[in-house]
Structure 1
Amino acid sequence: MPNRSDSHISHPRSWYAASAHGHHPRSILEESVETDVCVIGAGYTGLSSALHLAERGFRVVVLEASRIGFGASGRNGGQIVHSFSRDMDFIEQHYGPLKARAMGGMAFEGGKIIRRIISQYAIDCDLADGGIFAACNGRQMHELEEKQALWERYGHQQLQLLDHKEVTQYIGSNRYNGALLDHTGGHIHPLNLALGEAAAIEKLGGVIYEGSAVTRIDDGSPVTVHTAKGQVKARFVVVAGNAYLTGLLPEQQQKSMPCGTQIITTEPLSEEVQKRLLPHNHCVEDCNYLLDYYRLTSDGRLLYGGGVNYGAREPEEIEKLIRPKMLTTFPWLANVRIDYSWTGNFLLTLMRLPQFGRVGSHIYYAQGYSGHGVTSSHLAGNLIADAVQGHAERFDVMATLPQHPFPGGRLLRVPYTAMAAVWYDMRDRLGL
């Protein structure tokens, strides 16, 4: 009987792990198998790639070092936020109108892919519509007005500006000058989405191995992917480890940096308190550089996250860090108990834009969504499937974006980036 991965690996403690639907362990790879495409990583990039490929008739094997959704895909804020971490105006300015037009055609696709997958495969992941960008000062409100005009210019019309009075009808806080409501934003249970996508892949004939970390990739025809106890021979390989990738793409790792974000979740709240907090059950993120984000869970908790972590933190430290942020927004929650606190890594790039590319002719990668991974990773899977199928035009739009190393290399990238974050945080506090 195959060994099961849960004998030595489990999800970190979080509300998501505690409320996940039936995550039965998958086998560890202990043999040599052949397939069309080997996908490394069972987070959103890998799962989206595998699912889109399986839908097109490719045989797919997924290798996951830990558990499905172990990384950011199973620990994030669960918000469906459109576009990229750098918006279309930045892309226009730095890369020109042709590149911006091509990327603008993809900027709102990830959320549509998520909703299509949830509907088509009947995934129970608490999908709720509506996302709010909240302005903490007048400058940010002006930026939201510009964002609305920008997104509408690229075809996204389901937006509504809210002034100070109107925003209090959506958020039970006096903190905000106003907001931009995206009616096509929303929120999900991210781990249950990942598990549902994994089940869909398996229904289409794909195979997923957990506890099967990849030790090396031998490029050739076929490509051979090695684990400690087995190997996969494939026509194509998709590397989708993102912030948890180690050693397999050293050049790409020089051009990205894992960063953490922290989340706390309260005890279940009464319906009265929930209605006072978020009467329309929308999710919220503010417009600060080190932003706060929050929403209600399906069992009535407030899930609140924020900040950027450039080093590991223990759960006790996370609560001490995030609880004051929550109370700045909702001071009347001072006596509410915190039941869960956790952290998870996302992958930051210098230009805050995703990194797509090939190594040789048969190895594809996508990574570095810089905080916009929920939607961008699902877009990435579709583009990778297109490219493997021989239609690489849109993948190449992303792959030709410059990929710059961080100043100071691996040794100094963390302190340099942390210093920049302190500057932007100070600017936000001063409303500049």
Structure 2
Amino acid sequence: MQSQAHIDSWYAATANLSLSFPPLRGGAAADVCIVGGGYTGLSAALHLRQRGYSVILLEANRVAWGASGRNGGHVGTGQRAGQAQLEKWVGQAQAQALWQLGLEAVETVCDLVAEHSIDCDLRSGNLHVASKPGDAAELAAEVDHLSRVYHYDDLRYVEADELAGMTSGQGFHGATLDSGARHLHPLNYALGLARAAADAGATLHEGSRVTHYRENGKVQVSTAAGSVSCDYLVLACNGYLERLEPRAAGRIMPINNYMLATEPLSDALAARLIRDDCSMSDTLFVVNYWKLSADRRLLFGGGESYSRRFPADIKGFVRKYMLRIYPELAQTRIDYGWGGTLAITLNRMPDFGRLSQGVFYAHGYSGHGVPTATLAGKLLAEVISGSAERFDVMASVPSPRFPGGTLLRWPGLVAGMLFYSLRDRLG
């Protein structure tokens, strides 16, 4: 099949590697077959090769064609759900283990960037701003909790008056500054992982959509033009899993999120928007997230949709969210607007699991995918090689199915998202 080119985004326009991998033709065999060429699959391929496994990765389009090449590029610490909530779900000891894995996820991204000389504009810091007065108190309590219970001292609370000197953004009541967080160019990071995996000996195929698989001793994975026989299968499809594996699909919901890139800004304006060149995000349920690019554009993500269609005017769709925070950009030109599909879960924690002795999956990163999906690949390599403890820490987090399964999950999700969007607007 013909693979689709990367969408017209600022990321694609500034990609620094031009990689091309041939479609799968005919029969092939490997220890492990990976379905999906995003962070999960690429990280798994690299880590499995480092452990000596033969690996074939099948990507329906281009490597990093999906969310891995389109997202906000935030590399946040911890888990997508807060530690206090995790303590209620899994207990203190397990929450501690999850916290450490969250820190390791960021460290793993940084180590891979350094080890494989991945040029992806890796920088430090995230400023998480309170959009409502009550959110400010919750952020202050979080700083205290993480310091006392988890001994994490890279997070501090920022009062509203200090915050006003760090950003010209409007409507904030305080913030947390996490110096342990990172941010990067997500597509260049993914392309760097792909190059590293290929250099390590993994076989990558683009334009190779998997149509089905079956287990009969070995796992047989089929595309329109070929097949792979393997001992282990890794499903790393995230928001693009669709009907390939119904047993896992009911725990995730594909949704669409959107971004824009402004024209390059003056140094003075860029410094006014984000003084310290950190990434930023807010506390709204439908979160806004933004950062400066290496060429001093504002990269701003805002708004979601829950159908298969993208808005006709993505630039205009996202621009209204940007102007609520930065009205001073009303006359600023928007050069790029794009969307992407990600997968969320009901509790916003990723869903890790095994479907049989030889079939594993990880997905549902819910907007925390750069670090968590990278770590997922590392943990998938561990569990396949016989060390299940750390994979099982992630897999032990409750992962409820969406009510109604894949057939009826859309109406419930839309109703819930509309409710929370209204609550965001009304405060």
Same fold (TM over 0.5): yes
1:131-142 residue pairs with structure 2 within 5 A?
131-142=126-137
**What's 1:166 paired with?**
162
My pick for the range that moved more, 412-421 or 392-401, is 412-421
1:407-426 residue pairs with structure 2 within 5 A?
407-426=403-422
1:227-238 residue pairs with structure 2 within 5 A?
227-238=223-234
Name which of 189, 195, 198 aligns with 2:191.
Answer: 195
Name which of 252, 258, 283 aligns with 1:256.
Answer: 252
My pick for the range that moved more, 42-51 or 314-323, is 314-323
**Contact 1:313/1:343, CA 8 A, preserved across alignment:** no
**What's 1:41 paired with?**
36
Are 1:114 and 2:109 matched, yes or no?
yes
Cα deviation, residue 428, structure 1: 3.0
Are 1:87 and 2:82 matched, yes or no?
yes
Cα deviation, residue 417, structure 1: 1.9
Name which of 91, 97, 112 aligns with 1:96.
Answer: 91
1:290-305 residue pairs with structure 2 within 5 A?
290-305=286-301
Cα deviation, residue 316, structure 1: 4.2
Cα deviation, residue 204, structure 1: 0.9
**Contact 2:3/2:61, CA 8 A, preserved across alignment:** no
My pick for the range that moved more, 343-352 or 112-121, is 343-352
Cα deviation, residue 313, structure 1: 4.4
CA distances 1:20-79 after superposition (whole Å, capped 9, x unpaired) = 113232101102222221111010111111111112222211110110101110000111
Q: Distance between the aligned counterparts of 1:229 and 1:393, measured in 2?
A: 37
**Contact 1:105/1:154, CA 8 A, preserved across alignment:** no
Opposite residue 335 of structure 2, the aligned amino acid is D
Q: Distance between the aligned counterparts of 2:53 and 2:144, measured in 1?
A: 41
Name which of 41, 48, 54 aligns with 1:53.
Answer: 48
**Contact 1:315/1:342, CA 8 A, preserved across alignment:** no
Are 1:240 and 2:236 matched, yes or no?
yes
Query: Which structure 1 segments of 5+ residues have no match?
Result: none
Are 1:288 and 2:284 matched, yes or no?
yes
CA distances 1:180-224 after superposition (whole Å, capped 9, x unpaired) = 000011211101000000000111111110000111212233322
Cα deviation, residue 270, structure 1: 1.6
Q: Distance between the aligned counterparts of 1:52 and 1:20, measured in 2?
A: 24
- The change in CA–CA distance for 1:407 and 1:314 in structure 2 (over 3 A counts) is closer
How many equivalent pairs are there? 426
Opposite residue 422 of structure 1, the aligned amino acid is L
**What's 1:269 paired with?**
265
CA distances 1:221-252 after superposition (whole Å, capped 9, x unpaired) = 33221111111122211110010112221111
My pick for the range that moved more, 190-199 or 133-142, is 133-142
1:324-403 residue pairs with structure 2 within 5 A?
324-403=320-399
1:311-330 residue pairs with structure 2 within 5 A?
311-314=307-310, 316-330=312-326
**What's 1:219 paired with?**
215
My pick for the range that moved more, 304-313 or 276-285, is 304-313
- The 3-state SS of whatever aligns with 2:353 is strand
Q: Distance between the aligned counterparts of 2:3 and 2:33, measured in 1?
A: 24
**What's 1:176 paired with?**
172
**Contact 2:76/2:368, CA 8 A, preserved across alignment:** yes
My pick for the range that moved more, 173-182 or 422-431, is 422-431
Q: Distance between the aligned counterparts of 2:367 and 2:310, measured in 1?
A: 21
Cα deviation, residue 317, structure 1: 2.9
Query: Which structure 2 segments of 5+ residues have no match?
Result: none
Q: Distance between the aligned counterparts of 1:409 and 1:143, measured in 2?
A: 33
- The 3-state SS of whatever aligns with 2:5 is coil
Q: Distance between the aligned counterparts of 1:30 and 1:369, measured in 2?
A: 32
Cα deviation, residue 139, structure 1: 0.8
Normalised to the residue count of structure 2, the TM-score between the two structures is 0.96
Cα deviation, residue 420, structure 1: 1.9
**What's 2:123 paired with?**
128
Name which of 58, 62, 67 aligns with 2:57.
Answer: 62
RMSD: 1.6
Q: Distance between the aligned counterparts of 2:136 and 2:226, measured in 1?
A: 55
Opposite residue 116 of structure 1, the aligned amino acid is D
